Amino acid sequence: MADIIRLLPDHVANQIAAGEVVQRPASVVKELLENAIDAGASVIQLVLKDAGRTLIQVTDNGTGMSETDARLSFERHATSKIGSAEDLFSIHTLGFRGEALASIASVAQVEVRTRRQSDELGIAILIEGSRFISQTPVNIAPGTTFAIKNLFFNIPARRNFLKNDAVEMRHCIEEFERVVLVHPQIEFSLEHNGKVVFHLPVSSLRHRVVNVFGAALHPRLVPIEQESDIVSVSGFIGKPEFARKTRGEQYFFVNDRYVKMPYLAHAVESAYQELIPEKSYPSYFIYLQVDPASLDVNIHPTKTEVKMIDEGHIYAILKATVRKSLGEFNLMPSLDFDREAIFDIPEPDPDNPPSQPAIRVNPEYNPFTNPNPGQSPSPMTGFSGRTSPAGWEKLFPSRDFERLPNDLPPAGDLLPSEPVVENKVYFSEGSEKPFVQLMGRYLLTTLRNGLLLVDQQRAHERILYERFLSQLQGSQSSSQQLLFPLTFYFQPSDAELLKSLMPELRKIGFDIESAGQNNFAVNGLPAGFRENDAGELLEQLVSDLRQSQGANPESHLIEMAAALARNQAVRNGTLFSAEEIKNIFDSLFACNVPHVSPDGRLTLKMLNADDLDKLLK
Ligand code: ADP
Ligand code: MG
């Protein structure tokens, strides 16, 4: 058989943007998997040690290489795939730059073992940091194994730059997923430190998706299909009711390569408009085939972005296709517009006009009388009890204006008549301060020379944030054991991340352990956390931390505390008792930085006489 690798002509080489091919183990995973696919393999095994730091090994049963090709494959711009510059623009094969192996071999110890079907013996070649070390004949099955050991062994700075294993592994898994999702006709496996992470048999595309992301996805997928002159669309979209709080499973593949397409993502999301709540995201796995000539190929090796000439048309086609599928599968509620418009608002009764809401005042009221001497409010333990404790009325008599006799004169036209979400005004015993909750959002009290206004949600975030942060930096907190453990499935890359968070989660009182196959069991929760929220909380946490991954450990804890606080803080509209309001004030002023929320918004405003003066000018 003839040697098939040609050296890329210089003028072509120059057209190829030089770039860093190898940034981290995941980049190597990607290149090796793509090469194995290009070699026509039907079974591909990926083996990793220490998230690819120590070993990245890909074995395929593809064409194999001749001795010359095996040696040439490490030359820069050695490729069997391009003969001219035009070829660059009609690429169907995956790798096309002829520099991946050369780059990889310059920063690692590489062993390739390869044999063509037609050869009796294979060959093993060792290369270290671009230096040829040895070549020996080997007796192996047809196909190729690339073993990349000790990545960046000769560039300590790059090696140190790598993130922790959980992060690097997540990147590797992401690359693996992006490849396996386009090749259900190929059997793949992934093993990490001796454990099987994935074994994906040859299957339909639908089953491939399900095998990667979990059986729960199966009933949630709806197929999409559309042929047109400029694009053919296929794949699966998620039913609206399973939209997630995070942008998790959203994949575009163009001509069998994973790409990021924010513009087209918008088309899909807009097709779901009104079918899913705000801030939730549909899952989708969408495969587009277009004429390669219509792709503006960006040859930068690490980019996953492409531009398409017909993007505007494709946007419209895609949106219509998704819409159509949602309709066909009866996922679109049939809107009855006549009825919609009316919304069951009762006709006004001309004989009985609605009265103006008005504030009534009890002239009898005296804040200093105390019907229960000696009884003082019980200390609050936290804000987890979000309803007023029973009997608070007795502690704080006749604060509730609603209950005052009806025959008092209205306060007059000067007062605003806007309906109010329920204001609460309390006077606590032994204190001259009123505690007021306005519109279920703002807390108010008087200061010696002014007013204090607090945003309840932001304040609570600040309080919880500082509490979580000190727990995360301290020793383990106790947890409330659950009667029945909860189990949650996470997709593999998220599962890796969650695993890495487990020590910290335990510190704040999550009794969590991995339960195999990307499942997690939660046996106990921090005191005050609700069982029903646990799943969403973990999901939210993983999604928030995905962004900040790999930052220094300190900011990692900060992110985590902020995410937990965001999740657990009371929402606007939560009504408080006087004790709770007082407790929020006390806790807020016990904080190190009371006046801003963890994300930097104001939690409070003090208004003194000057401020009030200005307001009234
Ligand atoms: P490219 O894939 O862009 O051509 P690479 O540096 O990734 O460049 O690979 C160089 C060449 O080595 C390929 O063109 C191919 O001929 C050969 N090669 C790499 N991996 C394999 C493999 N697993 N099986 C057979 N040939 C391979
Ligand atoms: Mg390649």
pLDDT in tens, 191-245: 999 999 999 999 999 999 999 988 888 888 999 999 998 999 999 999 888 888 7
Q: Please tell me which residue, 579 or 71, carries the higher pLDDT value.
A: 71
Q: Ligand 1 in contact with 12 (CB < 6 A)?
A: no
Our mutation pick for probing the ligand 1 site, out of 5, 44, 73, 179, counting the most ligand atoms within 8 A of Cβ, is 73
Mean pLDDT of the chain: 77
Residues 546, 490: Cα–Cα separation, whole Å: 13
Q: Which ligand is nearest to the CA of 102?
A: 1
Q: What is the DSSP letter of 281?
A: B
Determine the pLDDT at residue 446. Answer: 84
Determine the pLDDT at residue 298. Answer: 56
Could you identify the atom of ligand 1 that is nearest to the CA of residue 96? 3
Question: Residue 35 Cα, ligand 1 centroid: separation in angstroms?
Answer: 5
Which residues are within 5 Å of ligand 2 (an ion), measured at CB?
35, 95, 100
**Amino acid identity, residue 285?**
F
Whether 12 has a pLDDT exceeding 60, the answer reads no
CB 259 within 8 A of CB 252: yes
Specify the pTM: 0.58
Whether 572 has a pLDDT exceeding 80, the answer reads yes
Q: 259: which strand partners?
A: 252
Our mutation pick for probing the ligand 1 site, out of 5, 28, 101, 117, counting the most ligand atoms within 8 A of Cβ, is 101
> Per-residue pLDDT averaged across 59-77, rounded?
90
Determine the pLDDT at residue 159. Answer: 86
Residue nearest to atom 21 of ligand 1 (CA): 35
Could you identify the atom of ligand 1 that is nearest to the CA of residue 99? 6
Which of 76-85, 99-108, 119-128, 362-371 shows the highest mean pLDDT?
119-128
Q: Please tell me which residue, 124 or 16, carries the higher pLDDT value.
A: 124
Q: Ligand 1 in contact with 60 (CB < 6 A)?
A: yes
Cα four-point dihedral sign 72, 77, 80, 83: negative
Helix (H) or strand (E) holding 145: strand 143-149
As separate numbers, helices (DSSP H) first and strands (DSSP E) second, the chain gives: 17, 25
